[in-house]
Amino acid sequence: MFRPQLLRQAARAVQAQAPRASFRVRQPIVAYTRPFSYTPARFEKEPEREDLDAFTTAGEPGESGDHEGQYARTQENIRVEYPEEDDLPSSQPVQGRGGFHFKRTLAAFSMEGKVAVVTGGARGLGLVMAQALVTSGADVAIVDMNRDEAQKSAQGLIDTFREENPGSENVPKVTAHFCDVSSPTSVNQSLADIIKEHGKVDNLVTSAGFTENYDAISYPHDRMQKLWGVNVDGTYLYAVAVAKHLMSRESPGSIVMIGSMSGAIVNVPQPQAPYNAAKAAVRHLASSLAVEWAHAGIRVNCISPGYMLTALTKKILDDNPELQKQWTSLIPVGKMGRPEDLMGAVTFLSSDASLYVTGADLRVDGAYTCT
């Protein structure tokens, strides 16, 4: 018991007696190589440095010109509210993306025999992704707040399929269902409806969501709660409902959450802090649920689109041409994406082509987030 203590005392005694010659020898060398007189005085500026300081934190704000921060700041005066239901523009199914072809491709990309639910599928990106799944062989249930638009889009997908596949006997089943994804009751009712009509669900794509531009200080709290309710709660609630269904069937499945590049970067110049935070939540929800549900064979991934030219973004940019210039100037490929650019990404993550991919975030943003 006393041994370690004795050893420590002995070691201290040896240290106290040891000569420090080695340090004394080195000191003069240091003094010769870096004499104090060579070190510039701490606050004495060289003439050219004084000019450069205007570009550093040593300069006063505005010292190097009124362009400072111009491409890296949000502007409080930009305000875009999500339109009322009646003012939202309709979307059409895209043409020329389906039909028979004789190009060789991996069978694992096929969605034949699968039933997929697409929330927010009545319009925009959701509708195009629903079309990608239909074209790849799935039956699809479109879920949306706008019942009429969802019904019109479901019929539009069937009509487009028939036009592009004349004489086909296997016309996919595409149905429309009302749901407010931010309400647990509405989510459960719509899923029960879908299971009644299709018999099962294998896939989910959560595209219901929206953005608004307000500076954080002025954003009305009720609007912010609605934004988080649809983007975050809505994604979570539908994912949980579908996962419960898959687990009860002891069946594997795939969930694709639509996030945004805004979950990884801060867009400029339009202010949208709550939306950015909501999409960061969606991205991390995908990773977290991927881990939680891996045991059940349920894969959960995220797609983070960049600026995509939907009917709605087109309307916003038509009213603000300067905004379009600023956005495209920040995209390395120099162009906004088309909704069709998500068709391959959603099919890959939904199908067996990505069987070992889960918890991933697939950015479809023209390299915006690389810079």
Residues that bind ligand NAD (CB under 6 A): 119-120, 122-126, 144-146, 179-182, 207-211, 230, 234, 258, 260, 305, 307-308, 310, 312-313
For residue 210, the minimal CB distance to ligand NAD (Å) is: 5
Task: Check 136, 190, 254, 260 and give the catalytic one.
Answer: 260
Which one of 275, 307, 351, 354 is the catalytic residue? 275
Q: How far is the CB of 249 from ligand NAD (least distance, A)?
A: 25
Confirm whether 103 is a catalytic residue. Answer: no
Report yes or no: 128 and 343 within 8 Å, Cβ to Cβ: yes
CA 352 to chain centroid: 22
Q: Looking only at Cα atoms, what is the longest distance across the chain?
A: 100
Least distance between ligand NAD and beta carbon 293 (Å): 21
Q: 312 or 349, CB closer to ligand NAD? A: 312
Nearer of residues 158 and 258 to ligand NAD, judged by Cβ: 258
Of 58 and 333, the one with the shorter C-beta distance to ligand NAD is 333
| 275 is an active site residue | yes
Would you say 301 or 310 has its CB closer to ligand NAD?
310
> How do the residues of the chain divide into helix, strand and coil, expressed in percent and rounded to 5?
50, 10, 40
Taking the complex as a whole, how short is the minimal distance between the CB of residue 182 and ligand NAD, in angstroms?
5
DSSP strands (E only) in the chain: 115-119, 139-144, 174-178, 203-206, 253-258, 298-305, 361-364
Q: Is 260 among the residues known to form the active site?
A: yes
Buried b (16+ CB within 10 A) or exposed e, 278-290: bbbbbbebbbebb
At 215, is the secondary structure helix, strand, or coil?
A: coil
The least distance separating ligand NAD from the CB of residue 186, rounded to whole angstroms, comes to: 8
Query: Are the beta carbons of 223 and 214 closer than 8 angstroms?
Result: yes
Cα 142 to Cα 177: distance, rounded to the nearest angstrom: 6
26 burial class (0-12, 13-18, 19+ CB within 10 angstroms)? exposed
Give me the catalytic one of 236, 279, 307, 351: 279
Q: Which is nearer to ligand NAD, 45 or 147 (CB)?
A: 147
User: Residues with catalytic annotation?
Assistant: 260, 275, 279
